[in-house]
Structure 1
């Protein structure tokens, strides 16, 4: 008997409906249930062929449990190793590389230094940063949001540099990103299940949470059909590249072009009271079919995780393959090893307006005087304060 487990927290409607749907199909040798954990021993397999993860982003104990389970062969959905490494800023960069339009976005250092760091920890951070270039690239108004966040938490709309400095003071240790505002005509949220089933849902993020799915597509006729086809194509591209089997992607449509806004939602909202009965029915059925298929393909004792093409292509590059097949270079014997003393490198420091003089072993250039890792431009910055 192969078990499909679902790991969840506060949500009620989707997990119970998912379990009932899998079991109602009466597939020979497969049952579904809520995951039960009574102990976690290193390298011990679980009793589950498949686990649907809906909560580990909030419970580190569960994330560690799922990694241990995956090591012993459980098909964890979504891959806990990739989920742990993924974040929104990287997603944007990857989307740009694979040809999916995204808003102009830059990464910002945290307002406060991380714990167990000092001013010297930031010696590689230029001070001041190229704020004028950053602001010209992104433009205003813009949105400032955590580079690895979700659920619309700690999201700020900023209208100018001074507004950004003021609101950035509230972000503490969060690493933020600054992203251009996309004024849209249509907006979509798309489920993608098993990297093959896509449901495109009209969505209005400016509505109250329970009314966000109460929206209609504004595009009509041939324009509408072309738009939906492009949205579906972009949704598939992103999920195949990232390796997610259960995810949502959001698009803001600007001048007929779908711009990917948010596509790192590996435990997406699936509550009947927010997504509505029709969307709920679709996601329950698609998730049940996907989980059953993964259970049927499950091979005990081997890796049954899904990895995106970003990772798989990197592992399979010709350079890597050549290195793995070539005979290793002989290690030098003790007699062959030579140690050469190197004089300290010289560095240049400015001397008023008269040019530069050389100094040996300069003290690190500290980017901040206070606890903050970033601050408003210095008086001599090219960025004019208004």
Structure 2
């Protein structure tokens, strides 16, 4: 018992808007002096720099909100070292993030009984030549018929890179000619073929940050700034529950604190189609109306993890999920049981109590901040970085107005999940 420093680091890439919002609200919360478990806490926040490091170099952070390790190897290795040597807590287990591609996530959730659409993997159309690979392919590669595979899956389906990358490189395949053309254009990419879920009446992206969840009506065919629709309360309670349980299951299974799950509903069944999205888009230019929710969720989870000295789960421990998968119970009962494991791993009740007792002033503070000139300037900075000069005023105003709509509709009542 005594005084304890709580240190949070932001490991950032090209991020502009959300760090400004996070940092401003962090300062406004005035957390120093918080009493927890007999200790008096003092909170510190800084942006993590990139530099050479020793295996024995101490790490001064309790929690790092990580936006780099999914693509930048130096930061990834620093993060992994810090977890192993210094007991750092970091969003999204980096070993899982590095090793579990989208195809792996499809396989795992199929094993758990989730209705993932029929999915195939194709060898790459082209390859970078080497003596070993040439010899391997000569011995073991087998000729295959694209036409036969297309017929087995059934048109239409989608071809997409197995390692992800959003909708870039995704092609709808309606016939054999489309399939041949898309495969010829895929080059050295390893591609998945996934059966289309048609017709569907809803396409929803459920974003999870710890045990906090946001269901968003999603339009993948719209321009990036319009894909996240502004609908609220558009699903009934059971549909919301299914999507929440599904997202929690995936995130807890793979050790992802911050991930999103895209699902399509057809004939009353939700089919997860894209759910290895750890470290999803956090920009105001994409999220707009939903941006305040993300910032508040990020603050709550990071502060909880840091203040309570939450331990990092270094391995996945999938056995409890498989035990449920092998039980003779309905798919919905299995999903509820998986979600119960997720709630235990995310310490949902402990987290809810922390938020209610220690962060009750966040809602009012956030309502005021998202109507401030600081927020408007953060929007403009991000718009300026992405849009041509003649569109700066137009899109700054668009995103600003959408956030003001959030303030009117949701900003004063707190989040509906009770955190």
Q: Considering the TM-score relative to the shorter chain, is it more than 0.5?
A: yes
Partner of 2:192: 177
How big is each residue's C-alpha offset from its partner over 1:192-212, in whole Å with a ceiling of 9 and x where there is no partner? Answer: 111x11111111111111011
Larger relative contact order (C-alpha < 8 A, sep ≥ 6)?
Answer: 1
- Tell me the residue number matched to 2:297: 286
Find the counterpart in structure 2 of residue 15 from structure 1.
Answer: 19
Indicate the residue corresponding to 2:257 in structure 1. Answer: 245
Give the helix-richer structure, 1 or 2: 2
Counterpart position of 2:209: 193
Instruction: Say whether the 8 Å CA contact 1:158–1:164 is kept in structure 2.
Output: yes
In the TM superposition, residue 144 of structure 1 has moved relative to its aligned partner by 0.8
Q: Equivalent residue of 1:29, what SS? A: strand
Which residue is 1:336 aligned to?
none
Deviations 1:322-346 (A, max 9, x none): xxxxxxxxxxxxxxxxxxxxxxxxx
1:169-195 Cα offsets, whole Å, 9 max, x none, are 22222111111112321111111111x
CA–CA distance in structure 1, aligned partners of residues 24 and 51 of structure 2:
23
Native 8 Å contact 2:63 2:306 kept in 1: yes
Give the 4+ runs in structure 1 shifted more than 6 A. Answer: 217-220, 311-314
Structure ID, larger Rg = 1
Q: Distance in 1 between matches of 2:155 and 2:321?
A: 37
| Count of equivalent residues | 306
Cross-structure match for 1:96: 110
Aligned residues of 2:63 and 2:88 also touching (Cα < 8 A):
yes
CA distance in structure 1 between the partners assigned to 2:151 and 2:317 by the alignment: 33
Q: Taking structure 2 as the reference length, what is the TM-score of the superposition?
A: 0.67
1:211 aligns with 2:226: yes
- TM-fit CA distance, 1:110: 0.9
How far is 1:217 from its partner? 7.5
SS in 1 for 2:250: helix
TM-score by length of 1: 0.73
What secondary structure is seen at the aligned counterpart in 2 of 1:276? helix
62 and 208 in structure 1: CA distance in 2 versus 1, 3 angstrom threshold:
same
Residue equivalent to 2:240: 228
Cα 1:206/1:197, change in 2 over 3 Å = same
Structure 1 unaligned runs (5+)? Answer: 315-386
